[in-house]
Amino acid sequence: MEKLCPLLLNISKKCVIICLGVWGIKKIIIKGKYMTKLYYLLLMALFGCLGPVVRAIGLPSVVTACLRAWISSLTLMGYMAATKHKVSKEEIKGYLKPMIVCGVLLFGDWFGLFMSYQYTTIATATVCYYIVPILVLIGSLIILKEKFKIRHLICAVIAFAGMFFVSGVAPDGFGATDIRGPLFALLGAVSYAGVVLINKKKPEGDPMVRTTIQLFVAALFTTPYVCLTTDFSELSFTWKTVGLLLLLGVAMTAVTYIWYFSLILKIPSRTVAIFSYADPIVAVLISVFFMAEPMGLYGIIGTVMIIGAAIVSEI
């Protein structure tokens, strides 16, 4: 944990330098739609930095997930109040029930992902978690009755085979000797796939309002569980912990969601889908090159299989 603080500071400095460089490029060369795509790519890269931040916080996974939900939902509420964002009560009534279910699933998503960080490498957790597009594809075929092509089925098989390599079941994977890590990541993936499928089936309403409701429900649902299962006397809140929690809840959840909703309206859906894979790629790079976590040949093969299959399924 002590080694992570200088590491995160170093990464933060590099991120500032990169952002300044991007700003400079914008002023000199890039304009219009190309800059929008670059912003979205940077946003996905920021999501890829989630693992080191969660691990550095050092709190139990369920506590981190709960605080993230409260901080992000209250921040979004504050943003909507400050910008006088219109909220229709009648409209909310039409999709409130599915959004409550999504909020509960969102807790399962974060809990599973954060727990996986405790039992395996960040690379393994993130890559296993990114089976989500394939799960959504399967769910869309079964639940939403969407049409599919043979290549979609082939991509699903390849992605699940890739999980075998990455999970550590195969020797010389990512060094993941504890199978609980990949299993918790899979729990998070299944939960988030459920969130996506419900939102696809009930797409009505303002995306920002829907997201705020889901985050707030996740916070309400998580709080009693945290109170009943957590020994608060063992928790330690330092200034570093508080700062990282604010970074996670405000910058890496609320602000990024606001940014996300504004950007996806300006770029094609296919670009949104493909650029999203910057997240696991960045996570793998951070895990291997910055945190010196092990990565073997089978880990590389599995990563290529999962991310490659997911990208091909979107093309």
Spatial contact of 210 and 199, defined as CB atoms under 8 Å apart: yes
Longest dimension (CA), the chain: 55
Of residues 187 and 290, more confidently modeled:
187
Q: Which residues contact 191 (CB under 8 A, 6 or more apart)?
A: 105, 106, 107, 108, 109, 112
* pLDDT at position 21: 43
Spatial contact of 166 and 299, defined as CB atoms under 8 Å apart: yes
* pLDDT at position 219: 92
Q: Where are the domains of the chain?
A: 4-314
Whole-number Å distance between alpha carbons of 89 and 293: 49
The structure tokens listed for 255 are: 């602000």
For the chain, what is the mean pLDDT?
75
Q: By percentage, how much of the chain surpasses pLDDT 90? A: 7
State the distance between the two ends of the chain, measured CA to CA, in whole angstroms: 40
At 3, the amino acid letter reads K
Whole-number Å distance between alpha carbons of 52 and 6: 12
CB count within 10 Å of CB 94 equals: 12
Radius of gyration of the chain (CA): 19
| 48 DSSP 8-state letter | T
* pLDDT at position 18: 44
Q: Which of 127, 152, 122, 119 has the alpha carbon at shortest distance from 137?
A: 152
* pLDDT at position 26: 43
Q: Which of 48-62, 179-193, 261-275 has the lowest mean pLDDT?
A: 261-275
> For 25-82, how does the pLDDT look when each residue is reduced to its tens digit (9 = 90+)?
344 334 455 677 777 778 877 877 888 888 888 888 889 989 999 999 999 999 888 8
Spatial contact of 272 and 40, defined as CB atoms under 8 Å apart: yes
Of residues 258 and 229, more confidently modeled:
229
* pLDDT at position 269: 56
Whole-number Å distance between alpha carbons of 133 and 139: 10
Q: Say if residue 143's pLDDT is above 70.
A: yes
At 259, the amino acid letter reads W
Whole-number Å distance between alpha carbons of 165 and 138: 21
* pLDDT at position 148: 66
> For 205-223, how does the pLDDT look when each residue is reduced to its tens digit (9 = 90+)?
777 888 888 889 999 988 9
Spatial contact of 166 and 174, defined as CB atoms under 8 Å apart: yes
